[in-house]
Amino acid sequence: MNLALKDIRHGLFRFVLTCFGLGLLMTVVLAMIGIYNGLVADALAIVKAPAADVWVVEAGTQGPFAEASSIPPDTRDAVARMPGVAAAGAITYQTLEASHAGRTLRVYAIGYELGRPGGPEQIAEGRGIATSHFELVADRKTGLLVGDTLRLGRDRYSVVGLVEDATNTGGDPAVYVTLADALSIQTKLDPAAARVQAARGAEPVKRPTVAAVIARMEPGADVGLLVATVRQWKHLGALTEAEQEELLLVSVVDKARRQIGLFLGILLTVSAVVIALIIYTMTMEKLKQIATLKLIGAPDRTIIGLIVQQALILGGSGWAIGLALILTVKDNFPRRVELEPFNAIVLAGIVFAVCLASSGLGVRAAMKVDPATALGG
């Protein structure tokens, strides 16, 4: 006879409500894990997207993601001529705000050279950019549809394709435009500003620069040699793909990781305290029944089983409800929530351990109960 299940069935509504409350707490824990994963995935996705072997950036900077980097566009020609380089492309990144469907849309504009590295690798819907000007490919999270138009800078662009999971570390969705258009957005002044510049005798347009030049190497080519050569030029710096990813994780994601990690630690502690309190309270409510069980001859393992099984059922149900809830709502979060099966399994392990430890308090109280308390009124 399973006393734990019988007791749960006796107070089913209350138990389900408790499980649901715990489930909501687990939802928050899983959401935090998912947000952290999403943060890392977003950060790395933008680095991995161009499939570059080497990033050539402004000397003395750790650009273009961790720091601003600004180099002349013709740097691409010099890099492309280097031995072992299969393809090179100049690339720009800038955060812009545009108005769309009555709301302000914040986008991460990536300018790349058509036919060269830096553009979107996979188009989820529509097509890639085919003309030199006024076309863009947007991430789905922008809410833009193929055929929509969007004003960036002083020009209007047509959405010709959509991609997925292209966002910057801040979670802003990306839009891809040609390098020419990106430089135009970057440099073209509005008429009033241009007139002022002209009156001052200055050039009416700003000098265009790119954020980086990315290079793809031929199979078997020495990446280290290219990096060392570029660094010798003094006015340029170079980072390998692995260095770029490491840099991004350390400088950009690390603080967020620590912040979320701390928050996660607090949440898990709160969950542990809540589970312990629930189990302790459930046990305290049953002290007279436990005394009766002891008096009629129930061994300790029956009483411990009653408490521990209820604790594990509570924790397991809370975990399952939390998992089901987060999987249902995760796509409604403004930031990407990425959950791996590994995360859910690790949390299950933590919940299991917390339930076991928490039930220790209840078991301790139960073991202290004197069977004689069952006698009398």
Binding site for other proteins (CB under 8 A): 1, 3, 6-7, 9-11, 288-289, 292-299, 302, 370-372, 374-377
Q: Could you tell me if 43 and 248 are in contact, meaning their C-beta atoms sit under 8 angstroms apart?
A: yes
CA angle 143/149/152 to nearest 5° reads 95
**How far from 22 is each of 2, 27, 322, 353, CA to CA, in Å?**
23, 9, 8, 15
Between 9 and 156, CB nearer to other proteins: 9
Residue 364 Cβ vs other proteins, minimum distance, rounded to whole Å: 18
Between 293 and 321, CB nearer to other proteins: 293
Between 206 and 288, CB nearer to other proteins: 288
Between 183 and 290, CB nearer to other proteins: 290
Residue 170 Cβ vs other proteins, minimum distance, rounded to whole Å: 54
Residue 337 Cβ vs other proteins, minimum distance, rounded to whole Å: 40
Between 141 and 286, CB nearer to other proteins: 286
Residue 2 Cβ vs other proteins, minimum distance, rounded to whole Å: 10
Residue 301 Cβ vs other proteins, minimum distance, rounded to whole Å: 11
Residue 331 Cβ vs other proteins, minimum distance, rounded to whole Å: 41
First to last CA, the chain: 27
- Which residues have a Cβ under 8 Å from the Cβ of 169 and sit 6 or more positions away? 39, 42, 43, 46, 65, 248, 252, 253
Alpha helix segments (H runs only) across the chain: 3-10, 12-48, 75-80, 179-187, 191-199, 223-232, 241-247, 254-284, 287-295, 300-329, 341-368
Between 6 and 156, CB nearer to other proteins: 6
**How far from 302 is each of 52, 123, 297, CA to CA, in Å?**
63, 61, 10
